[in-house]
């Protein structure tokens, strides 16, 4: 019997998740199908229930539905509860809808794959939206020294920082108040989607610093090009996408796929 999974988003036509999970299924011999579903912006819960009633067993959730998925889940993992966002839904054997977030795990595993400086690192996280919420706790658990959240709306950065203040040294500020140097700068804004750049001061990178953009494309994003001009090493978010998908796959199937072959394949396909 083939179990059904999907990714929900709006828009969703660009998603590589069906490609990734189909490859994971082929690699591991798991009998699943995986599709992309564009849900109405105001009716995510209705779209999920229709999918579940048609036999759906779980789903990934992307923009703009991560907080709606958080509200819909009946059982939340500790990391999802702290983040206030869900990107993975699973129908459990208990008949309840479980919500988790795998974004932070995906980010940290990708950073580790690129030999990023995490232990003792000073980290700047750009953006205070859903993309940022799920990655802060895993970064703190990886042993970073401090995390600064910078956002256009200062109050949102400060609110997000206060949410994690008990877990480590976390602060929030506006873009104009960013003061480096930082060993790692992560762009979690959507600016790269429109070819824009967060309004940052120059010289924020420490020597041998790393710039990470959660977005990815065939060519380096505007943010990564700017970072390279500052002398920073740069990595895009393709590996994060694959690693967070692998964590979701494990949550659903209790099988962990090998991500290395897919990293090479998808990079060639960009």
- The pLDDT assigned to 190 comes to 83
Extract the tokens encoding 242: 């694959």
Q: Are 122 and 183 in contact (CB under 8 A)?
A: yes
- The pLDDT assigned to 117 comes to 79
State the DSSP code for 175: G
Q: Which residues are annotated as a binding site for shikimate?
A: 15-17, 62, 87, 103, 216, 244
Helix (H, G, I), strand (E, B) or coil at 192: helix
Q: Considering the chain, what is the average pLDDT of its residues?
A: 95
- Based on the fold, state whether residues 188 and 108 are members of the same structural domain: yes
Q: Name the band, by pLDDT with cuts 50, 70 and 90, for residue 22.
A: very high
- The answer on pLDDT for 202 being more than 80 is no
- The answer on pLDDT for 25 being more than 80 is yes
- The pLDDT assigned to 130 comes to 81
Mean pLDDT score, 15-41: 97
Return the closest-CA partner of residue 22 out of 44, 7, 1, 37. 7
* Residue in this structure with the two tokens 């940290």, named with its chain if needed: 108
- The pLDDT assigned to 201 comes to 84
Instruction: Provide the residue range defining the domain that includes 112.
Output: 104-236
Helix (H, G, I), strand (E, B) or coil at 174: strand
Q: Mind listing the pLDDT tens digit for each residue in 48-106?
A: 999 999 999 999 999 899 999 999 999 999 999 998 999 999 999 999 999 999 999 99
- Based on the fold, state whether residues 29 and 145 are members of the same structural domain: no
Q: Are 57 and 5 in contact (CB under 8 A)?
A: yes
- Based on the fold, state whether residues 96 and 109 are members of the same structural domain: no
Q: Which residues are annotated as a binding site for NADP(+)?
A: 127-131, 151-156, 214, 237
Return the closest-CA partner of residue 59 out of 93, 30, 110, 99. 99
Q: Exactly one of 21, 66, 98, 253 is catalytic; which is it? A: 66
103/240 Cα distance (integer angstroms): 7
Is 2 among the catalytic positions?
no
Q: Mind listing the pLDDT tens digit for each residue in 63-73?
A: 899 999 999 99
Percent helix, percent strand, percent coil in the chain, to nearest 5? 40, 25, 35
Q: Mind listing the pLDDT tens digit for each residue in 222-245?
A: 999 999 999 999 999 999 999 999
Q: Are 111 and 205 in contact (CB under 8 A)?
A: no
- Based on the fold, state whether residues 71 and 127 are members of the same structural domain: no
Extract the tokens encoding 92: 């459990």
Indicate the number of domains in the chain.
2
- Based on the fold, state whether residues 111 and 197 are members of the same structural domain: yes
């Amino acid at each position: 019997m083939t179990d059904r999974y999907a990714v929900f988003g709006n828009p969703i036509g660009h998603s590589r998740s069906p490609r990734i999970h189909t490859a994971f299924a082929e690699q591991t011999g798991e009998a699943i199908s995986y599709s992309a579903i564009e849900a109405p912006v105001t009716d995510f819960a209705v779209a999920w229930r229709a999918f579940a009633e048609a036999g759906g067993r779980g789903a990934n959730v992307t923009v703009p539905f991560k907080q709606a998925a958080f509200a819909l889940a009946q059982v939340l993992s500790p990391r999802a509860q702290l983040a206030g966002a869900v990107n993975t839904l699973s129908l459990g054997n208990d008949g309840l809808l479980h919500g988790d977030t795998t974004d932070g795990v995906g980010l940290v595993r990708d950073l580790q794959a690129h030999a990023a400086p995490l232990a003792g690192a000073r980290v700047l996280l750009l953006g205070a939206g859903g993309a940022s919420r799920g990655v802060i706790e895993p970064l703190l658990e990886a042993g970073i020294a401090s995390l600064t959240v910078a956002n256009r709306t200062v109050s949102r950065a400060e609110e997000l920082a206060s949410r994690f203040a008990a877990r480590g040294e976390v602060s929030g500020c506006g873009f104009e108040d960013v003061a480096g140097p930082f060993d790692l700068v992560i762009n979690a804004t959507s600016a790269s989607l429109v070819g824009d750049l967060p309004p940052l001061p120059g010289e924020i990178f420490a020597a041998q610093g790393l710039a990470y953009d959660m977005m990815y494309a065939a060519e380096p994003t505007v943010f990564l090009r700017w970072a390279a001009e500052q002398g920073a090493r740069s990595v895009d978010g393709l590996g994060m996408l694959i690693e967070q998908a692998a964590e979701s796959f494990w949550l659903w199937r209790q099988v962990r796929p090998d991500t290395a072959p897919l990293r090479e394949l998808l990079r060639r396909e960009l």
